[in-house]
Structure 1
Amino acid sequence: MSNTTGTDSRRARRSRGSGGLVQGLRTSIPPVLVTLLLFVLAVPAVLVVAPGFVGPGSPAPAPSAPAWQQLPATISAPQVLAPLQQSAPVPLPSAVTAQVDPLLKTDGGGTFTGVVQDASTGQVLFDRGGAEGRVPASNLKLLTSVAALRTLGPDHRFATKVLRGPAPGQVVLVGGGDVLLGAGESQPEQTLGHAGMATLAALAVDALRAAAATGEIKVLLDDSLFTGPALNPAWLAGDVEAGEIAPLYPLALNSARFDPAVATGPRPQDAAMAAAEEFAARLRAAGAGAGLTVAAGVDRSPGAATAAGAAGQMAQPAVLAQVESATVAEQVDLMLQVSDNYLAETMGRMTAVATGRPGSNDGATAAVGAEAGAAGVASDTIKLADVCGLALGNQVSARQFADVVRAITTGADSRLRGALDGFPVGGLSGTLDTRYGDAATAGGAGLVRAKTGTLNTVLALSGYVVDADGRLLVFSFIGNGLTQGAVGNKQALDRAATALAGCGCR
């Protein structure tokens, strides 16, 4: 209590003292000066108290940012390649020959042939044995690409279907040409794995549930779309054993690979059955929550997609579910970029089916040869043993390949433009990603776009390039009988193509 009383007493004395001071000022100083003094004392108090009522004052202006951090006043023009001009000068054949001929020499045995053409006019600018039939290796995939784009169309997709089976409790998985199926969910943004078995199984379970299906479900496999031998007898046993190719079926996971990330080594020898067993496993997992059970094992039942109808007539059974592949153009691009033999052979057989031929190797080679001719390539001397280029019995000339590239780049059939993105780019992508890195070829990096071809004694490079004057040139160089493993041969091809990229050959 004493402490409280003492504090209040001191406050009272301070209050009286302040009042006395003001009163003294009032009696001793004129009223005008008193008013002025009070105003001077009040201004600082207002400045201290006012922010509590009106908020903080405006912040100090930020220091000006450097020009490179400020928003642009205008949008810069995009930096893109200028369109090709028809007025760009056509190189002189003598000048092109002088540039290319000394570079195109073998490292050891064998010979190179080659052709360079102006893409717009077709004028031949360089020709060394260009009409001679050669083993082309994977350059053959260019012919297969043209055939697929012409017959199937760049926007076509292959459907993998699940149909109601010929007997109660059966479903039929039908291969429709998609060998890039994934095991999991569909990945619409991808080419490999665009359609997935897990997605197909989930859709099939939904359809079975809607149909009030009960009991055990048996999966059958229909892979009858392809006929004839699954392995081409023209392929060397060593190439099959090394995983360069595998038996052909109209459906497969990962282009008939065990693992999509592993492109070498052993492959499934029955890719269709491996895909069907994966589907059955996914169906079993998806159906568990819906009260459906799936029988163990898958039975192959070619032709099971056609079930007996009323009065003995044959009728197409109901489609329970289906998933679709990436487009033909997207698959062609992948095939050319990574030089996928299995995908190329599949494209050839699907081309055969689309033209009314059997889905066999013979049907594929006949269809690809015919479509090359229809695209404007003089095809009477073309000899095909397969459509991926693995067989040594293929014979195609450098002139024919230059004509094929010309048809893709500037020909009248715009469907063939679907193959343009598939050409590997020197030093950047696909099978050319590790080339064009030395001093002699760096000038072609990012400029040379070409399909490679490699067998033990065969090297090929066919593609296109814009020269230093802005002229589009197409070319094909093919080496046969080469010394196996001689590093100078690839360098010769790359240096010749680089010379074209830098050519102001006037």
Structure 2
Amino acid sequence: MGRTSRTVTSALLVLALAAITVPVGINLVPVLLANEPAVVSVLPAAQLAPTSLSAIQGISSVSPQAPLPDPAQLAKDLNTALAFDGGTFSAQVSDAITGQTLYSKDGEEPGIPASNLKLLTSAAALKSLGATTRMSTTVLAGTTPGSLVLRAGGDAMLAEGESKPSAVMGHAGLETLARETAVALAKTGTAGPVTLSIDDSLFSGPALNPGWDIEDVNAGEIAPIYPMALYAGRTAPNQPAPRPVDSGIAVATAFAAALEKAGVATTGTITRTSTATDNVLAKVESATVAAQVQYLLVESDNYLAEVMGRLVAVKEKQPGSAVGATKAVRSVLTGLGLSLDAVTMVDNCGLALGNLISAHDLVKTVSLLLASEGTDVGQAVAGLPIAGLNGTLNGRFASAPSLSAAGVVRAKTGTLRTVSALSGYVLNAQGRLLVFSIMGNNLTAGPASAIPTIDAAATVLAKS
């Protein structure tokens, strides 16, 4: 696409997206929806660019009177779009309001979902932890004079600099924590040097899930999981590899440097402890759970998803381990009404090849998120990447033949070496909200080979 085309397309996307993405959510109870006449030959309001700020609306005004796609025609078009020789596809499409299945291609057959599994983790985290909850990183006085304990509270998005209240990554900064610690120490007459220990006993069990391929670990797809980390388990923002082997020690080392900068010298080796006094000297708090969940969905952050899973385990009185996390997430989701009898969860981020879930169950999960507008769980919807605009869908739907679906499809991507998946929703040309899941497995030429096929199928839904 040429520069002019890209500029025009971007401008149209910004306008169109304003109409369908602020803030996202849908009320799926027909009696609470406006009784608007069905739209047949023109685009629904949510697909049109607004003419003024007052015209910007969410998608809650979608009319249940809009016609459903013809299942026979939809099947014909989707079967054509999903024709593919280099692997296998399963898919399901349902109407968001009625739950009616409009299309299924092996939709009940379990497949490897890759990062589509993060939809389950996100829903459980929001329900169990609460959307407005923040994770604290705390400095306490140690049990011996001149000792400090840095206690991990589950914030994996710490940064080395000052706290940034408007940010998700780096909402809590170690320089701010160190400065407040220095002030507290000065009030007690402690000039230093001090010894530093960390208490990261919130999590337990192996820091690396045995279900992960060591090649993925070495490539920086994931790192050992700790209850506090810099930059979601990285050495710098967006730095893929190498990643810290011990994020807890990495945080403590950076905090010690920040203390030195604040005028408090440290001495000795950083050690681990599970004991401290109740004397809180300073603390910083993370961005909310909702903001972190939305970040992990948009960016498909494996580390953050695993931390959220373990936090759910702790909240649900399970061990804060990989096994405890999957068990707790399943329990929370079952409580929300999702049947997971046919689902296998090995981890919470989707990196393990042992994860299995059907397109049907992924559609049920997305439908739950949409039906939960106004609740904590419903806040996950705002984290679904937007076709052609942001996150892991930023570079997709950017040219013909899938350009018409740009800004209309919102979905979670999933990518492994032989897997490509997309699960989300689309407001179609008739004004009907469709929920879908498409999974490509056994992709002999890799995940990129399946992206045009998946995007073509999503475009069929947008046009239906």
State TM-score, norm by structure 2.
0.86
Instruction: Please state how far the C-alpha of 1:76 moved relative to its aligned partner.
Output: 5.3
Structure with larger Rg = 1
Secondary structure (helix, strand or coil) at the match of 2:389 reads coil
The residue aligned with 2:135 is: 158
Instruction: Please state how far the C-alpha of 1:281 moved relative to its aligned partner.
Output: 1.1
Instruction: Please state how far the C-alpha of 1:233 moved relative to its aligned partner.
Output: 0.9
* Correspondence list, 1:176-191, <5 A: 176-191=153-168
1:323 to 281, 284, 304: 284
Kept in 1, the 8 Å contact 2:386–2:394? The answer is: yes
Q: Does 1:123 align with 2:84?
A: no
* Correspondence list, 1:341-490, <5 A: 341-411=302-372, 414-485=375-446, 487-490=448-451
1:268 to 218, 239, 244: 244
Q: Distance in 1 between matches of 2:332 and 2:445?
A: 33
Secondary structure (helix, strand or coil) at the match of 1:101 reads helix
The residue aligned with 2:220 is: 243
Q: Does 1:232 align with 2:209?
A: yes
Q: What code does the residue aligned with 2:261 have?
A: A
Kept in 2, the 8 Å contact 1:227–1:358? The answer is: yes
Q: What code does the residue aligned with 1:297 have?
A: T
Secondary structure (helix, strand or coil) at the match of 1:383 reads coil
The residue aligned with 1:13 is: none
Secondary structure (helix, strand or coil) at the match of 2:357 reads coil
Of 215-224 and 441-450, the range deviating more from structure 2:
215-224
The residue aligned with 2:35 is: none
Gaps of 5+ in 1: 1-74, 308-316
Instruction: Please state how far the C-alpha of 1:141 moved relative to its aligned partner.
Output: 0.4
Q: Distance in 1 between matches of 2:64 and 2:428?
A: 13
Instruction: Please state how far the C-alpha of 1:255 moved relative to its aligned partner.
Output: 0.7
Secondary structure (helix, strand or coil) at the match of 1:267 reads coil
Q: Does 1:207 align with 2:168?
A: no
Give me the CA root mean square deviation: 1.6
Q: What code does the residue aligned with 1:285 have?
A: K
Q: Does 1:491 align with 2:452?
A: yes
* Correspondence list, 1:255-334, <5 A: 255-262=232-239, 264-286=240-262, 288=263, 292-301=264-273, 303-305=274-276, 307=277, 317-334=278-295
Kept in 1, the 8 Å contact 2:193–2:266? The answer is: yes
Q: Structure 1 residues 261, 239: closer, same or farther in 2, change over 3 A?
A: closer
The residue aligned with 1:136 is: 113
Kept in 2, the 8 Å contact 1:139–1:451? The answer is: yes
Q: Does 1:99 align with 2:77?
A: yes
Of 437-446 and 248-257, the range deviating more from structure 2:
437-446
1:153-207 deviation per Cα after TM superposition (whole angstroms, max 9, x unaligned): 1111100000111111111000100010000100111100000000000111111
Kept in 1, the 8 Å contact 2:411–2:424? The answer is: yes
Instruction: Please state how far the C-alpha of 1:413 moved relative to its aligned partner.
Output: 7.3
Instruction: Please state how far the C-alpha of 1:80 moved relative to its aligned partner.
Output: 2.5
State TM-score, norm by structure 1.
0.79
Instruction: Please state how far the C-alpha of 1:114 moved relative to its aligned partner.
Output: 0.7
Kept in 1, the 8 Å contact 2:419–2:446? The answer is: no
Give percent identity, aligned residues only.
Answer: 47
Q: Distance in 2 between matches of 1:76 and 1:461?
A: 33
Q: What code does the residue aligned with 1:271 have?
A: S
Instruction: Please state how far the C-alpha of 1:294 moved relative to its aligned partner.
Output: 2.0
Q: What code does the residue aligned with 2:212 have?
A: W
Kept in 2, the 8 Å contact 1:365–1:385? The answer is: yes
Kept in 2, the 8 Å contact 1:107–1:483? The answer is: no
Q: Structure 1 residues 224, 486: closer, same or farther in 2, change over 3 A?
A: closer
